[in-house]
Structure formats: structure tokens, C-alpha cells
Structure 1
Amino acid sequence: MAATRAASAASRVFLAFLSAVVAIAALLAVLLTVDAQAAERAEAETLTLSLARTIASMPTVTAAMDESDAATTAALQPVVLEITADTPLDFITIMRPDGIRLTHPDPTQIGGRYLGTIDEAAAGGTVTEEFTGTLGPSVRSVVPVRDGAEVVGLVAAGVTVGNVWGQVWGRLPFVLGVAIALAAVGAAAALLARRLTRRIAGDLPASTVRDAVSSYESVRTLGEALRAQTHEHGNRMHTAVALLELGRTEEAIGILTETSRQSQELVDQVAARRDGDPTVGALLLGKAAQARERGVDWSAEIDPTAPRSALSPVDAVSVVGNLIDNALDAAAGGADPRWVRVAFAPAPGGALALSVSDSGSGVADELRERIFEHGFSTKPAGSDGRGVGLALVRSIVEGAGGAVDLSSAPTTFQVILPGRRP
């Protein structure tokens, strides 16, 4: 069976962009629906309270409260049924201060006790609440009927929750229209993003694009290291030649011997590993020269038993080189003494532990995660590789099943990588 073709970088950008837009549109639809429900409930509370107060202030209602229960019901039941029919209210219940109903949409409920809170209203205040009564859950307001200063009755006006939601459903076309419009704009933006990405990366798979970036970073950091090493050796050779011309043979031999010794120490450490990576070894030699060029004290400790990582030489150089570059920049920009320490050691489970420490000023707590984001950098705008190095390091390491950790005092990046299988 033919292998499934990997999705291109452009397609991944499109899908990521579109997924984000759909999620935002869905969240917006939910928020608008919740807002509409809250608005309808607030409107229902305002309506019920206003109409309850209007009914309680009617002279007919106040006068009828002085009659017997039967006479009050006969006088007010037709009135409240007419008002209910002409307004959005679902019920109007007029009752005695003790809660005995005198009117109700269902005549069989008259004479029973009102279901809900009335104490505050009976004391002369008002009550607005959602309560489940004989008609189901409803938003209702209860106000007192006064004869002078005396509370002679109560009026409850309510709207069932079903009707409140009915008003919300009426707003759904608008909510869905906004969500669909947002999704359409987002889809168009996603198509544009895919087109722009395709212009840059063509139909290459995302992994291939990342490999290309890794290769570029590998060549860049290795090139900088070799340039520094070549420059350092060139300076020392020129100095030695000048000393020989001046007849100062011993001093010339001393310079050449010291150059050889410093390089040999690192070569011996690299060669002592049971499964060393010669590419990383060459990188370390160059970075040592680069550190001396920048006035940074350099130390590299390589445990002979440290395994070779599962990374390819290109990815290994990208990870090690970018971490060292980051440390050199931090140390060179800090106070004396300026130093960088690199260590390779075995880790549990046959893994490789790489740590890179520096004497720099460290990373602020609020930036500890952001420094790994693509495009973010604490370096000045326009710096080469700005915002790529640490993001690429994390991508490569986590893609290989490893982990990157940052600690302080001193600033140390520690990478745990699976060891290469025999």
C-alpha cells in the first residue's frame, strides 16, 4: 500500500487557521446566545415588576381587597384575565397578605396558597425571582397592594421561562448570521494564508519546511563557529610567523603549542565518547574559538559514556548550536566574569542530557515560556535569526520525544534526548 502523502505546510496553515476561526465563531455564538438569554430575563424582570406595580395601584384592586374572598375573586378575576390576554404576562395572581390566592389563570388554584417568596412584599417591599409554581418555572415579581400605609394584598405578575427562551430563539437567526459571517471572513483569511504559505513553501510537507529551517540554522551556526576558529588560528599563525621573523623562536613555539593544546583537549573529550557525533565535535571546537573571540570563558565537559542522541547531524547541530549561541549572546552582554558551560552526560533510560549554562542576566519569569515562541526574541529588532533559534530547538527536541527545561541561577537550558538505538 502506498504511503499516505504528508500534508503540505500550506494545508496545515489553512487547517489551523480555519479551525481557530470555527472555534471562535462557535464561542461567539454561545456568548451571544447567553447574552440574549440574560437580556430577555432582565427584560422579563422589568416587565413583571412594572405591570405588577401598575395593577397594585389600580383603585379597583384596592377597593376589592376590602370585600370577602369570593366577592374579591368575582370582581378581579375577569380583570386580570383581560390584562393577561393583552400583555406578555403568563399569569397575574392577586392574593391576601398571607398568600391565599384570590385570582389565578387556573380557577381551580384559587383559594390555595401562592407558591413563591412573599415575605418581603408583605412587609411593604418587592420580590423578583425565578421560581417553579403551578405553571412551571417562571420569572415573577410580587408587590404590595396598599390602602394608605396598610398592606391589604399582594400582586404577583410572571412570565414562564419557556416564553423567555422563546424570545431568545427569536434572536438566534441574528446570532447565527453573525457567526456564519465571521466564519466566512475567517475562511477567506485562511485561504489567503494558505496561498501566501504556498508561495513560500510550495506543496512541501510541514516536516520538510521545518527540516529546511533546521538545515539553514545548522549551516549558520556551524559556519559562524568555523569562521571564528579560522580567524583565531589565522591570528595566531600570523603572530607566530612574526615572532619567527624576529628570531623569537621559543615564543612562537609556545603560541603554536598552546593553540594545539586547547584544541586537542576538546578533541580528546569528543573522541573519548563511545558513540560521539563528529559534526557536533567540530561545532564545539568552533564555538570554543567563538567564545574566546567574544571574551567569554568557555568550558565543555563531555562524559565518555554519554550516548549519541537520536537526532540527525543537522538537527543535532541546530539544537546544540542555537543553545550555545543564545548563551554566548547572554554572557557577552552581561557583567564580568563572563562564561559559558556546556556539558554532555548520560541520562536514565539510555538518554542524553545536554546542559548549556551562562553568566548572563537570566530570563524574566514572565518570559520563560514566550522565549520558545516563534518570532519572539529579546534581541534587538533586525538581529539575525531573531525569534527562530529557541523555537526551533523546542520543535526539534519535542519532535524527537525529548524535553527542554529552563532553570535559573545560573541560567541553564537542559535538554533530554532519547539515545540512538544500536
Structure 2
Amino acid sequence: MAVGAGRSVASRLFIWLAVATFVFAIVTAGLLVLDSHRSVRAEAERVTQAVAETLAHSPTVRDALALDDRAATSVLQPVAEEVMGDARVDFVTIMDTSGIRITHRDVDEIGQRYIGTIPATIEALTEEFTGTLGPSLRTIVPVESTSGAALGWVSVGVTIDSVAAQLGPRLVVVVAIALALIAAGLAGAVVARRATRGLAGDLPAGTIRDTLASAESMRTLGEALRAQTHEHGNRMHTAVALLELGRTREAIEILTDSARQSQALVDQVAARTEGDPTVGALLLGKASQAIERGIRWETDIDPEAPRSVLTPTDAVALVGNLIDNALDAAATGAEPRWVRVRLAPTAQCELALVVSDSGPGVPVALRESIFERGFSTKPAGPEGRGVGLALAAAIVDDAGGSIRLDDGPPTTFRVVLPTPASTEVT
């Protein structure tokens, strides 16, 4: 069931919970009906077996079968009718060894051959068979003499219609349970909608995601700029101190090395004529952040790498979160520590973003969970662990791209994003 993109988060949550409630109630009702049918059928089989066994071991039945068929009918037909009334079974058929009926619910059928399976050996048999009364569950049991010889057979049955009729009262209970589940589920959905509306108002899901992306963009840009400012401040302070000490050559080396590293990245960013300048600024800041944390930073930006369809806010949130994740992972790994970022076009004119790191990697058992909101291998903190990769996956999914974690090592996240050119081609 598709839910309109313009609906508020609260309304979408209510609809999904309501749909889930109805599906759960229907499935539960179906399972209860199936279980009730099996239970009623099993009970019918037990009744036919018990009644047939009781009659087969009755001295009255055994003695009557020693008489001729007419005399046996006069003795056993009243017994069969009484048992049918008391045990609430649909028929009791007593027959001789050749299958000729001595009793029957319809007296006109007496003397006719039994319709059903007569075992080849002297043993009981329960089956479903269609006879004169229609489909029925029946049990046939041999009547044996004291010496073990067969004297005849007793067949007791319940029609399928009677079995179905016993389901009626149980179906009422099943319907009541299903309605109770639906009522409880809808009540829960209403409570959830009110709680969600209290937090998010009537904002659509896309707006909330955009707000979160904006917040993440500001956070990651702020961290990058802070690191860049801090790194340059450290170098400048060191250079000034060296100049004061008269060590001009070392001061010049520090400043030129810093300028050289920054210029190399600036050149790559500037060479990408179609690139997003916001992402370029982010990469410059993240490079300083990596240096500050003692992590080697590598970038490979293809000059032909196209601009994706993402807004600057979403692009910064996506790239920034992937790089932050890589920096955190590399910082906990063994030497050498490094992070590598690559931007390049694909054969389909899309944009490929690849972020790799030297970290310890993601355990195989957790690979299916890394893009779920709230999941993190790190402890929760004020920055909100478990948001970054989930937000990155949501941004990529909304744009119609793909994101996956390659089999490592090294740990590599690979993103493919559509571009205006690739959208025109499709």
C-alpha cells in the first residue's frame, strides 16, 4: 500500500500501523480457523474410534453376529439407533464379514453392501470416504470371537457437514478475537499518531528528513571548519615561535608544507568543473580534521566527476557522515591510519563516491544492520550515534541511488548517485 509523500509523519505512521493491525488480525484469524478445523476433525475421529471400539467389544454385538442376518438386524438395529442418538454420530453400520449391512441409518440400505474400505487384515481403519450420506469421517473396527476369528465389522461415522457445523461456535470466538485485535491495534495507532504529532507536528516525512540532513550538514561542516581553523592555528603558532627563535628555515618549511597540502586538494576540487563547491569546501575541512587526528588523508577526484542530483545540504550530509564514520573507524585501528575518498563518473554518467578507511571493519554478522537508524558499534553520545549511516542511506534512497558496504578489507562504502545527465538518458 503506497502512502502519499505529502502526508505527515503522524498520518503515515497511523496508516502503516492500521494496515499492520488488519494484516495481523487476518493472519491470526486464519490460523485460529485452521486450528479449530483440525481440532474439530480430530475430535470427530476420536469419537468414531471410541464408539466403534465399544460396539465391537460388546457381547451383544458379538452374540448377534453369530445369528443369521435377519435375526441379527432385529437385535442390533435398535442398538445402533440408540447409539447414534446418544453418541451424536451420523451412522452406525454393523455388517458381516463379507460387508453386507446388518444395520444402517436408512433401513432401506440394510442388506446392501457397505460402501467404504474394509481392511484386508483384521485391524481398525479411520478414513474419509463418500457413502450414501455423503463425505464422512469413519472408523471401521473388526468384531472378533474369543478365539480371534472375524465375526463382522462395525463402522461408525460423522459426516463432513456435521464436522463443519461444529465450527460455527468456534468461528464466533475467532471473529471476536480478530475484532479485539483490530480494536487494540487501532487504539495503539491512535496513541502513536498523537505522540508523533506532539513531536513532529504535521510535518511530512520528507521535511523532517531534510531538517535532519540540514542539521547533520551544519554539524559536519562546523567540525570540518573547526578542525581546519585549529590545524592552521597550530601551524601558525609553531611558525611564529620558530621565527622568534630565529629558526626561519623550519618556519618556512612548516608554512610551505601546509600550503602545499592544501593547494593539492584545492587543485583537485577546482579541476572538477561540474562539482558542488560546498562538497569541495567540506573535503578541505575534513582533510584538516584527519591531519588533526593523526590520520593520513587521500583524495582522488576525477575532473570529469559530474554533479549529482542531491541538494548541497543532502550532499554535505551524505559525504560528511561517510567521512566521519571512516575517520572514527580509522582512529580506532592500527597503524598506518588512513582515509581515502574518491569521486568519479560511472559508465552510465552517474556519480560514484567511494570512501575507504583502515579501520577494523564491520563484523559480518552486523553488515545487514549498519544502515538501520539507531544502530552503531560505538557507544551513544551527545552527537547522536546511529544516525549518520541511516541518514546517508535515506538520502541515497530518496535520490534513487544505491549504497553498499564492500567485502573488506579495507572497509569501503560505495555510493552511486544519479546525475542530471543520467536522468535524461533514462
> Residues 335-374 of structure 1: matches in 2 within 5 Å?
335-374=334-373
Q: Kindly tell me: are residues 39 and 241 of structure 1, through their superposed partners in 2, closer, same or farther at Cα, counting changes over 3 Å?
A: same
Post-superposition Cα deviations, 1:272-328, rounded to whole Å, max 9, x if no partner, equal: 113111111111111122222222222111111111110001111111111111122
SS in 2 for 1:371: coil
Corresponding residue for residue 17 of structure 1: 17
Q: Kindly tell me: are residues 78 and 203 of structure 1, through their superposed partners in 2, closer, same or farther at Cα, counting changes over 3 Å?
A: same
Whether contact under 8 Å (2:32, 2:174) holds in the other structure is yes
The amino acid of 1:66's aligned partner reads A
> Residues 188-203 of structure 1: matches in 2 within 5 Å?
188-203=187-202
Q: Kindly tell me: are residues 5 and 22 of structure 1, through their superposed partners in 2, closer, same or farther at Cα, counting changes over 3 Å?
A: closer
Corresponding residue for residue 167 of structure 1: 166
- Asked if residue 79 in structure 1 is aligned to residue 79 in structure 2, the reply is yes
Q: Kindly tell me: are residues 400 and 76 of structure 1, through their superposed partners in 2, closer, same or farther at Cα, counting changes over 3 Å?
A: same
Q: Kindly tell me: are residues 86 and 312 of structure 1, through their superposed partners in 2, closer, same or farther at Cα, counting changes over 3 Å?
A: same
> Residues 154-303 of structure 1: matches in 2 within 5 Å?
154-303=153-302
Corresponding residue for residue 135 of structure 1: 133
Q: Kindly tell me: are residues 376 and 129 of structure 1, through their superposed partners in 2, closer, same or farther at Cα, counting changes over 3 Å?
A: farther
How big is the shift at 1:404?
A: 1.1
Coordinate RMSD, CA, aligned: 2.0
> Residues 35-50 of structure 1: matches in 2 within 5 Å?
35-50=35-50
Whether contact under 8 Å (2:49, 2:139) holds in the other structure is yes
Partner Cα separation in structure 2 for residue 198 and residue 85 of structure 1: 63
How big is the shift at 1:194?
A: 0.9
Corresponding residue for residue 383 of structure 2: 384
Q: What TM-score results when the alignment is normalised by the length of structure 1?
A: 0.93
Post-superposition Cα deviations, 1:195-233, rounded to whole Å, max 9, x if no partner, equal: 111111111111111111111111112211111111111
Q: Kindly tell me: are residues 99 and 221 of structure 1, through their superposed partners in 2, closer, same or farther at Cα, counting changes over 3 Å?
A: farther
SS in 1 for 2:10: helix
Partner Cα separation in structure 1 for residue 373 and residue 115 of structure 2: 61
Corresponding residue for residue 417 of structure 1: 417
The amino acid of 1:135's aligned partner reads L
SS in 1 for 2:166: helix
Corresponding residue for residue 89 of structure 2: 89
Corresponding residue for residue 145 of structure 1: 143
User: Mean alpha-carbon deviation: is it higher for 122-131 or for 303-312?
Assistant: 122-131
Whether contact under 8 Å (1:362, 1:408) holds in the other structure is no
How big is the shift at 1:57?
A: 1.6
Partner Cα separation in structure 1 for residue 116 and residue 381 of structure 2: 69
Q: Kindly tell me: are residues 298 and 151 of structure 1, through their superposed partners in 2, closer, same or farther at Cα, counting changes over 3 Å?
A: farther
How big is the shift at 1:128?
A: 2.4
Partner Cα separation in structure 1 for residue 321 and residue 49 of structure 2: 69
How big is the shift at 1:190?
A: 1.0
Partner Cα separation in structure 2 for residue 295 and residue 134 of structure 1: 91
How big is the shift at 1:75?
A: 3.0
Post-superposition Cα deviations, 1:378-411, rounded to whole Å, max 9, x if no partner, equal: 2113362222111111111111111111111222
- Asked if residue 306 in structure 1 is aligned to residue 305 in structure 2, the reply is yes
Q: Kindly tell me: are residues 153 and 365 of structure 1, through their superposed partners in 2, closer, same or farther at Cα, counting changes over 3 Å?
A: farther
SS in 2 for 1:372: coil
Which consecutive unaligned segments of at least 5 residues does structure 2 have?
none
Whether contact under 8 Å (1:97, 1:154) holds in the other structure is yes
How big is the shift at 1:169?
A: 2.1
How big is the shift at 1:45?
A: 1.6
Partner Cα separation in structure 2 for residue 130 and residue 334 of structure 1: 69
Partner Cα separation in structure 1 for residue 46 and residue 388 of structure 2: 60
SS in 1 for 2:126: strand
Post-superposition Cα deviations, 1:65-96, rounded to whole Å, max 9, x if no partner, equal: 22333433343233223321332211222233
Partner Cα separation in structure 2 for residue 114 and residue 326 of structure 1: 80
Percent same amino acid among aligned pairs? Answer: 59
The amino acid of 1:123's aligned partner reads T
User: What is the aligned length?
Assistant: 417
User: Mean alpha-carbon deviation: is it higher for 411-420 or for 86-95?
Assistant: 86-95
The amino acid of 1:141's aligned partner reads T
Q: Kindly tell me: are residues 73 and 369 of structure 1, through their superposed partners in 2, closer, same or farther at Cα, counting changes over 3 Å?
A: same
The amino acid of 2:135's aligned partner reads P
Partner Cα separation in structure 1 for residue 357 and residue 109 of structure 2: 83
User: Mean alpha-carbon deviation: is it higher for 83-92 or for 71-80?
Assistant: 71-80
Whether contact under 8 Å (1:140, 1:158) holds in the other structure is yes
Post-superposition Cα deviations, 1:105-144, rounded to whole Å, max 9, x if no partner, equal: 244544454444442xx63432223333333332222222
SS in 1 for 2:215: helix
Partner Cα separation in structure 2 for residue 97 and residue 264 of structure 1: 106
- Asked if residue 331 in structure 1 is aligned to residue 359 in structure 2, the reply is no
Whether contact under 8 Å (2:5, 2:205) holds in the other structure is no
The amino acid of 2:129's aligned partner reads F
Partner Cα separation in structure 1 for residue 354 and residue 16 of structure 2: 34
Post-superposition Cα deviations, 1:161-185, rounded to whole Å, max 9, x if no partner, equal: 2222222221122112122112112
The amino acid of 1:403's aligned partner reads S
User: Mean alpha-carbon deviation: is it higher for 70-79 or for 49-58?
Assistant: 70-79
